Structure 1
């Protein structure tokens, strides 16, 4: 095979896979939001998307995965967002920016905002989905804690601060999602996150001195 032609073929295959995944996601979210999580089957999802059941399970392990994936990407950029903040920036400011970006992406895109709201409501009100979402948040907490340890020069295993600070930031993130969804989208997530971080700022900025262990 001519190596010059291999790259376009790979790119085409990737685009095709992404298109199928997007169609499955769109069909699943539409049905789940309209009918409720328990009322929708995988058979209905694949029928709506026009694909086989085997194709569905090639992309998703379960219908839960379709929904959780909608918000999973919110956390993937949190650590990189935190790492991109200025090194001397106060932790409260850096963390607020890190968790604000995915919230804004979820709520501010006019063409997807309404669906995003309904999916967030579905996740927070369905125990099975909420459990999966909280599992994701646990991983995000570990990622943020590792980055905070790097930024502050603390031991990620021996110092409590990185895990506690990351946990507080994600608690604020989750609380804002709850308030936003509970208000049916009438409250601004950006304003809510600012309110939350005003409460958390003193604790987040009390970074222990790496030598003395006391807050700096």
Structure 2
């Protein structure tokens, strides 16, 4: 499954001409912003510089984004939905640790394909992890993803998402592994394989993930 945020560069073929034009402008703004932010840092870039680099007006910029922060956060758009969809598509008999590992590998795989997209992903991940305001937004997103994954996981296992502790704990562990992998991959400047790192991370947490309680909390 290809992560939706990759659609920022490769629009889906069933979109209308108007949608493709809007996507093109959004792509140009995003790419201009990412290049500048990678060179100068988040606080060193203004919206005026971004629109000048993209060749659009400031009014156009604010038609697409509320702030320069939102340009970066858009890179995360759809990631949570893609992970939830992947979890929903995993075989019902698959263990939680395997299903959640494949779920997390949806965005991770985009970081490991050694393409221009992977290089772009590394720039954005570094920017997010190293900028407090952006990292706070990233953590907000992760909280939303945890809730969505917990609901999906509870349905798979016949548990109550609000009454049973397991679904939120398991989803939280999976996303903690994801966050740890991103930090390690970013810190290595992309030299370590994030898929391998994900496998190693899930090897650590798999025993806990696969200790699934029975509905109602019984073991």
Work out whether the TM-score is over 0.5.
yes
Consecutive aligned runs of 4 or more in structure 1 exceeding 3 Å deviation = none
What is the TM-score of this pair, normalised by structure 1? 0.92
1:53 Cα deviation from its structure 2 partner = 1.1
Please name the residue that 1:153 is paired with.
158
Supply the distance in 2 between the matched residues of 1:93 and 1:113 (Cα, whole angstroms).
24
Partner residue of 1:167? 172
Q: Do the aligned residues in 1 keep the contact of 2:164 with 2:215 (CA within 8 Å)?
A: no
Which has the higher relative contact order, 1 or 2, with Cα contacts under 8 A spaced 6 or more apart?
2
Distance 1:139 1:73 in 2: 12
Runs of 5+ unmatched residues, structure 1: 1-9
Gaps of 5+ in 2: 1-14
Provide the residue aligned with 1:187 in structure 2.
192
Cα RMSD (Å) of the superposition? 1.2
Please give the TM-score of this superposition, normalised by the length of structure 2: 0.90
The reply on whether 1:119 has 2:124 as its aligned counterpart is yes
Q: Which has the higher Rg, Structure 1 or Structure 2?
A: 1
- The answer to whether structure 1 residue 66 and structure 2 residue 71 are counterparts is yes
State how far apart, in whole Å, the 2-side matches of 1:206 and 1:47 are. 55
2:43 aligned counterpart, secondary structure: coil
1:83-117 deviation per Cα after TM superposition (whole angstroms, max 9, x unaligned): 00001110000000000111111331512222221
Partner of 1:47: 52
d(CA) in 2 for partners of 1:155 and 1:109? 41
- Whether contact under 8 Å (1:24, 1:56) holds in the other structure is yes
Q: Which residues of 2 match residues 197-208 of structure 1 at below 5 A?
A: 197-208=202-213
Work out whether residues 72 and 136 of structure 1, in 8 Å CA contact, stay in contact via their aligned partners in 2: no
Matched, 1:98 2:103: yes
Between the two proteins, the alignment pairs up a number of residues equal to: 205
